[in-house]
Amino acid sequence: MANKVLSRIDSASGCEVDKILLRDFTSSFRCGYVVAEGGVTMPHGYVDVCDKIAQFSLRDDDIFVASFPKSGTTWTQEMVWLLGHNFDYEKAKEFLPARFPFLEVQVIYDPIDVIKTMGSSLYESVDYANSIKSPRYIKTHLPWQLLPTDMTKADTKAKIIYVWRNVKDCLISYYHHCILLEGYKGNFDNFYKMFLANKVGYAPFWAHVLGFWKRRDQENILFLRYEDMKADLPSVIRRVASFLGKPCSEEQLLKLADHLSFENMKKNPAVNYEPVCEMNKKLGLINAEGSFMRSGTVGGYKTYLTQEQIGEIDKWTEKCLEGTGFSP
């Protein structure tokens, strides 16, 4: 096994947050958690595929969209895919994960028997991503050190577009996402504790962002900010088009920006993940109401977090970023 998994999280550790994690965030398809390289918390299913991910062979024309969960990933994927496919809106009616697979989605569903009930090769995700024709467009939430080994080589031509989001808004969105799609059954206060203790999937948050930010000057990496996309989407589309080497006329740009509006994305069955939510309910994996695309606002945390929590996150952020030169 590649040296990616360090230990299993055990409630016998005496750590309150570990106990909360294993009590409130395990289910019929999430048997536990492990600590991976870099202190990253991952669902236990990662153990079964970490070698396959590490050994995943990249192609020169691969395009990855990477992020911490709930940072604008789906939004960015749809933008990138349409730019890369000459604005083929008809083909874009196909379910996004089929045309832009989530590399490690099978990590979320554990054990493997659950994956087999899904009835789709999409959930045997590493094999699926390996099988599709070039150019491949691939999504991942993995931090830098857990990416396929090929990605870390100096001569890698595969491109990565990384998008990050204000940590407070990301926290709120991730909480709702985990209830809807990942079987979290606890309350917000406990999720908040786990997030700041780096005990939710893919955490630590700031280490995740910094892993890509430190490499932002590499020719094959583009570093984006969710709030910039909200403030001036056409400008970001131009940056992405230039990065991908895909010409984009003003007319094409405006049509794409309209297609990517929150209102249009939310009602688009190819990207709003309603089919996944319905399947999870049908299989008895999740019994929660809500929508994958909930609000998409900037600063929504101000009506959700207490002033004490906001202050605590600010101090935690300052400590995590001390000496890095990164300004959120």
Kindly list the catalytic residues. Answer: 141
Say if strands 40-43 and 5-8 run parallel, antiparallel, or are unpaired: unpaired
Full DSSP string of 225-283: EHHHHHH-HHHHHHHHHHHHT----HHHHHHHHHHTSHHHHHT-TTTS-HHHHHHHHHT
- Rounded to a whole number of angstroms, the CA Rg of the chain reads 19
Q: What count of other Cβ atoms lies within 10 Å of the Cβ of residue 203? A: 22
Sheet with strand 221-225: strands edge to edge: 137-140, 63-67, 159-164, 221-225
- Going 68 to 72 to 75 to 76, the CA torsion angle's sign is negative
